[in-house]
């Protein structure tokens, strides 16, 4: 690609990259920094890519690494999880299940969810749902599924036990499932 095309493509991506970084870091200034660094790094090597789609994938991988670096830096500076607020949900998911552990309100299958992946509106809702997950489970879920780290590594980084990690992931998944059911898939039907 020509330099000016690359610059234009990167400029187009910037808002999306920023949103992504904010979601992961939950800090506007750190998100700005991470995106800035990722764009500079991308600009330096973008000529080798044939098209905007390839550049995008590449910028995303750079940005993800910047975000992981930043999360690691936070860990080094203290046990991040200790300072995160406890969420109200508790570990028992009291409203989701009855006393015997059965669904209070049983989930129903989503209709053709893969189609949603192509809808811009779906991603707005998906990001809002991610943002709505309590801090701890949200952090673990995003490190695991969006940044693609292994569970062991996440537990180590965050200084929590593996079983605690699993509990947090379970909670995040149940919360996201609930949120998407209500805010996206419910509306479709």
Partner 1 sequence: MMNCKEATQLMSQRQERKLSLVERLGLKLHLFICKGCRATEQHFAFLRAAARRLGSRGTPEA
Q: Which residues bind partner 1 (CB under 8 A)?
A: 13, 16-17, 20, 53, 56-57, 60-61, 64, 93, 96-97, 100-103, 106-110, 113-114, 116-120, 123, 126-127, 141-142, 144-148, 151, 165-166, 169-170, 173-174, 176-177, 180-181
CB of residue 78 vs partner 1: minimum separation in angstroms?
A: 26
Looking up tokens 């053709």, which residue turns up?
112
CB of residue 80 vs partner 1: minimum separation in angstroms?
A: 20
Q: Are 119 and 166 in contact (CB under 8 A)?
A: no
| Of 117, 94, 97, 93, the residue nearest 105 (C-alpha) | 97
103 strand-pairing partners: 97
d(CA 62, CA 68): 10
CB of residue 70 vs partner 1: minimum separation in angstroms?
A: 15
Question: Is 61 or 188 the residue whose CB approaches partner 1 more closely?
Answer: 61
CA angle at residue 85 from 84 to 86, to 5 degrees?
Answer: 115
Question: Is 77 or 112 the residue whose CB approaches partner 1 more closely?
Answer: 112
């Amino acid at each position: 690609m020509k330099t000016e095309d690359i610059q234009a493509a990167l400029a187009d991506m910037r808002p999306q990259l920023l949103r992504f970084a904010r979601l992961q870091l939950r800090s506007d200034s750190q998100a700005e920094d991470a995106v800035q660094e990722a764009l500079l790094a991308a600009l330096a090597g973008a000529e080798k890519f044939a098209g905007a789609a390839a550049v995008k994938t590449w910028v995303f991988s750079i940005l993800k690494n910047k975000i992981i670096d930043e999360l690691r830096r936070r860990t080094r500076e203290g046990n991040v999880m200790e300072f995160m607020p406890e969420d109200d949900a508790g570990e028992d998911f009291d409203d989701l299940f009855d006393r015997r552990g059965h669904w209070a309100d049983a989930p129903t299958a989503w209709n053709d969810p893969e189609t949603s992946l192509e809808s811009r509106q779906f991603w707005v809702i998906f990001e809002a749902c991610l943002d709505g997950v309590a801090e701890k489970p949200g952090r673990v879920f995003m490190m695991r599924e969006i940044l693609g780290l292994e569970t062991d590594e996440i537990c180590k980084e965050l200084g929590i036990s593996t079983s605690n990690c699993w509990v947090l992931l379970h909670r995040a998944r149940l919360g996201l499932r609930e949120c998407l059911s209500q805010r996206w898939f419910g509306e479709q039907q």
